[in-house]
Amino acid sequence: MKRQSNLRSIRGMATWLKIVLIAGVLCVLGVVGLVVAGGMFFSQMTSPDKVKEVASKFMVIDDPLPGGFKYTAGANIGTPFVVIMPPDNKTLITFFVDPTAPKTGTDISPEAAIDSIAKGETVAAAPGGSSSSTKKLTKTNRGNLQVGGQTMPYVIGHAEKTGDTTDTANTFFGAVKSPASGKIVYMMAQSADNSATAAPITIEKVKVLTDAIKSFN
């Protein structure tokens, strides 16, 4: 029942991440066959131990996760991404690494990345090679968090979603730069609750998880 609840919640995740999952599955299907490969890949992608292994490629975080958070999905499809959820399954927290290699004089800063997101401009390419974008956030708040020994600029606000009838703050984006690779590591928290009584995404909720991050690789 717990796995079924997690899978139902995954359906509410951001569109770019759905594309990533579909693209990843299709790539595997073409190599080892439709039924067998699809089942094996999806099983590994939702295995908490496997997801934790993927997370370790770009960050060091408390084990076990704080506050009952759990590893829900993740894979390394050209670049790693991880989905973590709280016990009530009402928030999707996604970490992903911008696969774009930094170029001298042209690499983007975390501040510039968040500026772009706040304006609804194109976000970094998603894992698997698909581009990702978000609608312009409204009623936004900007700020900085100390996460893993770095300053994480962030924006929090309301982003339109299918079936959403409120203007509650439902989306958080933060970004840091990996000291090892120089690539941007994004953190996105998004409400999976579209009801009229959905609780907003708050910095306090985000900090339950970010305070457990010790460093970025």
- Which pLDDT value is given to residue 32? 45
Instruction: Please name which of 7, 178, 185, 213 lies closest in space to residue 92, comparing C-alpha atoms.
Output: 7
Give the residue among 25, 60, 23, 15 at the shortest CA–CA distance from 46: 25
Q: Give the Cα-Cα-Cα angle 113, 108, 189 (nearest 5 degrees).
A: 30
Question: Which residues is 76 bridged to in the sheet?
Answer: 80
Residue 126 lies in domain: 2-216
One-letter amino acid of 108: I
Average pLDDT, whole number, for the chain? 78
CA nearest neighbour of 152 among 216, 217, 100, 94 = 216
User: d(Cα 119, Cα 135) in Å, to the nearest integer?
Assistant: 8
The predicted structure's pLDDT at residue 128? 41
Two tokens, residue 2? 């717990």
Whether 95 has a pLDDT exceeding 90, the answer reads yes
Higher pLDDT: 161 or 24? It is: 161
At residue 174, the pLDDT reads 95
Q: Compute CA 165 distance to the chain's CA centroid, rounded to the nearest angstrom.
A: 23
> What is d(CA 199, CA 170) in angstroms, rounded to the nearest whole number?
8
pLDDT value of position 105: 55
Q: What is the pLDDT of residue 36?
A: 46
Structure tokens at 158: 């309301």
* φ, ψ dihedrals at 107, nearest 5°: -70, 145
pLDDT for 181 beyond 70: yes
Does 53 have pLDDT greater than 60? yes
pLDDT at 25: 45
Residue 164: its pLDDT value, please?
Answer: 60
Total domains in the chain come to: 1
**For the residues of 73-97, what is the DSSP string, one character each?**
EEEESSSEEEEEE-TTS-EEEEEEE
Instruction: Give the single-character DSSP code of 179.
Output: T
